[in-house]
Amino acid sequence: MSGAVEVVRAGALTTVQDEGRVGWAHLGVPRAGALDAPARGLANRLVGNPVDAALLEATVTGCAVRPDRPVVAVVGGAPCRVTVDGRPVAWGAPVHVPAGAVLDAGPAVRGLRSYLAFGGGLVPEPVLGSRSADLLSGLGPAPLRDGDVLPLGHPTPAPAATDAVPWPGVPAELVLPLSLGPRHSWFTDEALRTLTTATYRVSPDSNRIGLRTRGPALARTREGELPSEGMVLGAIQVPPDGCPVVFLNDHPTTGGYPVVGVVHGAALAGAAQAVPGTRVRFVVPGGGTVRGGAPS
């Protein structure tokens, strides 16, 4: 270990995340990992870390930490006010935090999740090859509490200075391209048209497990439920209320509600920052509509 950071203010929900536990779903282990992968990678690059280094994901209210050695840090993802010992510093760019100073990432001004990266990365003990916290299974470090201490890795060389950094924007509307299946035949033709033409809204009940939506219910042609079957990242499961749920990083690996389609993985980063009430549209790539159970 080469130093540590103490959690001064844990906020509503702050977790350690990296790229996640990729490749373990066949054993029933969820993926976990940072929901906004582009923000995770950019924050790490700006402090000289590999893109998959572990960092902090703070939700809505931000968090504050105190390193016991000088460290280069970046706060990115959801825009927020950033201070070091109460003095304003840059958001989205590397800042030098002296030993014993408090780095505070305030509440998100837009979006939901801010990312705090530190030179050398966070190095709590990995579980199945990842340091990510998984809220569903409980694997990895627990959600942070005030007073927790996290080890830092060895300092990395100072990154090159940058004039401008292209942080992804926070979506005013979430457009999610999808591929139908495997259970789209469980839904009426009208339901499939509704799915790809209606506007949904992000539900306040959304979390790291799934993006829940509110909007027109999708009518089914078959009653009952399926035996549990494998679920993938981005699967659009439809529970009994008929409103689509998009599975995110902490999703279960099996489920019994029918999956009407799967959102393309590259589009899921926007879901990490979509606040409750954000418009959601599901689209078929190429601009097609759905007729007779298939895109046209």
pLDDT attached to residue 296: 39
Question: pLDDT tens digit string along 106-159?
Answer: 999 999 999 999 999 999 999 999 999 999 999 999 999 999 999 999 987 877
pLDDT attached to residue 287: 56
Write the DSSP string, 54-86. Answer: BEEEEESS-EEEEESS-EEEEEEES-EEEEETT
- Domain shared by 54 and 193, yes or no: no
In a domain, 88, yes or no: yes
Q: Take residue 238 and report the two structure tokens written for it.
A: 């439809």
Closest to 71 (Cα-Cα) out of 41, 40, 39, 47: 47
Closest to 34 (Cα-Cα) out of 203, 168, 172: 168
In a domain, 94, yes or no: yes
- Domain shared by 258 and 187, yes or no: yes
Q: Across the chain, what does the average pLDDT equal? A: 93
Domain C-terminal end among 102, 117, 151 = 151
- Domain shared by 177 and 287, yes or no: yes
Q: What are phi and psi of 73, to 5 degrees?
A: -135, 160
Q: What is the Cα–Cα distance from 241 to 254, expressed in whole angstroms?
A: 19
Per-residue exposure over 224-244, b if at least 16 CB sit within 10 Å of its own CB, e if not:
eeeeeeebebbbbbbeeeebb
CATH number of the domain where residue 229 is located = 2.40.100.10
Question: pLDDT tens digit string along 5-42?
Answer: 999 999 999 999 999 999 999 889 999 999 999 999 99
Q: Are 158 and 72 in contact (CB under 8 A)?
A: yes
Percent share of the chain, pLDDT over 70: 95
The secondary element (H helix, E strand) that includes residue 191 is helix 189-197
Q: Are 154 and 2 in contact (CB under 8 A)?
A: yes
Question: pLDDT tens digit string along 42-85?
Answer: 999 999 999 999 999 999 999 999 999 999 999 999 999 999 99
pLDDT attached to residue 202: 98
Q: Which residue has the tokens 């990490």?
A: 272
- Domain shared by 117 and 218, yes or no: no
Residue ranges making up the domain that contains 144: 4-151
Confidence class for position 285, pLDDT limits 50, 70, 90:
confident
Please count the structural domains in the chain: 2
Q: Take residue 126 and report the two structure tokens written for it.
A: 């990995």
- Domain shared by 143 and 9, yes or no: yes
Q: What are phi and psi of 192, to 5 degrees?
A: -65, -35
- Domain shared by 184 and 112, yes or no: no
- Domain shared by 79 and 146, yes or no: yes
Q: Which of 15-19, 100-104, 239-243, 282-286 comes out lowest in average pLDDT?
A: 282-286
Q: Which residue has the tokens 């706060």?
A: 75
- Domain shared by 27 and 147, yes or no: yes
Taking 3-state DSSP, the helix, strand and coil percentages for the chain, each rounded to the nearest 5, stand at: 10, 35, 55
